């Protein structure tokens, strides 16, 4: 193919691109352009989905942290209340023993 086109010139080559119509080239140009646009769109959608997933994960993590802190504080206060209740119960029981 290369030798034939060099000897006879490009336009004499039976496999030359001159045999294709301009519509053929336009079709492939726009097909390639459309494919690139679709690829870019898919990439942008994937990036947006990733950002959305990261944001959702961060929001859920923040919520879990708030609940964890609240649970820790409530547990501490509950333990304190339980200790006070036990002291009151012991004092009340000792007062009842003194009365009887």
For residue 20, give the 3-state DSSP assignment.
coil
Rounded Cα–Cα distance for residues 95 and 100 (Å):
9
From first to last of its 100 residues, the chain has per-residue pLDDT tens of 444 445 555 555 555 556 667 677 788 889 999 999 999 999 999 999 999 999 999 999 999 999 999 999 999 999 999 999 999 998 888 877 776 6
| DSSP-derived secondary structure letter, 18 | G
How high is the pLDDT of residue 47?
A: 97
Q: How far is CA 99 from CA 22, 44, 85, 92, 93, in A?
A: 113, 81, 21, 11, 10
CB 46 within 8 A of CB 39: no
CB 12 within 8 A of CB 19: no
How high is the pLDDT of residue 40?
A: 97
Provide the whole-model pTM.
Answer: 0.53
Alpha helices in the chain (DSSP H): 2-8, 22-99
């Amino acid at each position: 193919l290369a030798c034939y086109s060099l000897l006879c010139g490009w336009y004499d080559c039976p496999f030359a691109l001159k045999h294709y119509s301009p519509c053929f080239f336009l079709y492939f140009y726009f097909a390639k352009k459309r494919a690139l646009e679709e690829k870019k769109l898919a990439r942008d959608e994937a990036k947006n989905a990733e950002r959305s997933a990261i944001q959702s994960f961060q929001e859920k993590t923040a919520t879990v942290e708030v609940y964890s802190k609240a649970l820790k504080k409530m547990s501490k206060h509950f333990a304190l209340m339980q200790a006070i209740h036990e002291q009151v119960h012991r004092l009340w029981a000792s007062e009842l023993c003194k009365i009887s």
